[in-house]
Amino acid sequence: MTKTHRLYPSAHIAELFFPLTRDENAVAQVVRRIADGGYYRGFETGIIHQPPVAETIRAIAGQHGLNVTQWLTFELLKDRLNLSSLDTALREKSIKRACELVHLAAACGTSKLSLVSGDDPGEERREEAKKGFAEALVRVGETARQYPDMLVQVEPLDRFAHKRQLIGPTGETVEWMMRLRPDCPRLYLAWDSAHVALNQEDLADSLKLAAPIMSQMHLANAILDPQAQGYGDYHMKFGEPGFLTAGVAARIIRTALALPLSPELKAISIAVEMRTGEGDDLWDNERQCRAFLQRALAAAENPG
């Protein structure tokens, strides 16, 4: 078995096929084609609402042995909800909705329930917001524990550059999450290269800090020059003018392969995050991202 078996390729359908995300039947068709392609061992979508579609996706995933990741982010943003809001009424409404969504995710066979925090309120009220978000995660985690195969993962975003979210820098996030884990034991971190870079962190150092609780990796690109057009996290294509070249991607993977994974996880998923738009050739973009990931994995295992 090669070392790269510790990282399994995942298709980020919610981004690669972004124009289709509101058409759940179309998403199911994409899942089927992804599964039939035989390369990916997992896929990521938003929440599916229609029971027949959820049943179809669950059946496809089960038949092909695919891991299912679903993101609450789109659903919560749509309803202007915020799990870390300082407004207790809004936070309570957000928590109740997130817990409802846990059950919808379970209907798809989801093993990784994924979410992000809300906006950073600033240094003076940051700890207050983190306390509220911790309460939200514990309650969402309690609901998720009804499903033994489901974990909850939080993606730290950039705090200062673009998204300006509460949960951001890796070291601070890992320390906070480790304190929370006794009350939320299946809590993990979804690592994203774009947000780490926009936080002006060293990618390798961030991976080393995240490794004990890391359950997923996104190879995501961004323009890092604050004076340049497109600065920030816009889910852009890999390569220049962003920082995520093939060489950088290979170094990220090589670093991850050398790190000890969480003992509860046999492997973690890795996906290229690139958002498509109306008029894009969606399957050609998927092919390009798949080829980029394949090259990066191969280069990481066979440097030189």
State whether the Cα torsion 42-44-47-51 is positive or negative: negative
Query: Which pTM was predicted?
Result: 0.95
pLDDT tens digits along 69-96: 999 999 999 999 999 999 999 999 999 9
Residue type for position 10: S
Find the distance separating the first CA and the last CA of the chain, reported in whole Å: 21
pLDDT in tens, 240-296: 999 999 999 999 999 999 999 888 998 999 999 999 999 999 999 999 999 999 999
Confidence at residue 165, expressed as pLDDT on a 0 to 100 scale: 95
Using CA atoms, how far apart are residues 206 and 137, in angstroms rounded to an integer? 22
What's the CA gap between 193 and 203, in Å, rounded? 7
DSSP 231: B
How many angstroms separate the CA atoms of 158 and 297, rounded?
A: 26
CA-CA distance, 237 to 219, in Å (whole number)?
10
pLDDT of residue 2: 45
The crossing angle, in degrees rounded to 10, of helices 24-37 and 51-64 is 10
- Decide if pLDDT at 1 tops 50: no
Find the mean pLDDT for residues 172-185: 97
Q: If DSSP codes are grouped into helix, strand and coil, which group holds residue 274?
A: coil
Please, are residues 94 and 136 in contact by the beta-carbon 8 Å criterion?
yes
Please report which confidence band the pLDDT of residue 3 belongs to, taking 50, 70 and 90 as the band edges. Answer: low
The predicted pLDDT at position 96 comes to: 97
Spatial distance between the Cα atoms of 208 and 217, rounded to a whole number of angstroms:
13
The matching CATH number, chosen from 3.90.1150.10, 3.20.20.370, 3.20.20.150, 3.40.250.10, for 3-301 is 3.20.20.150
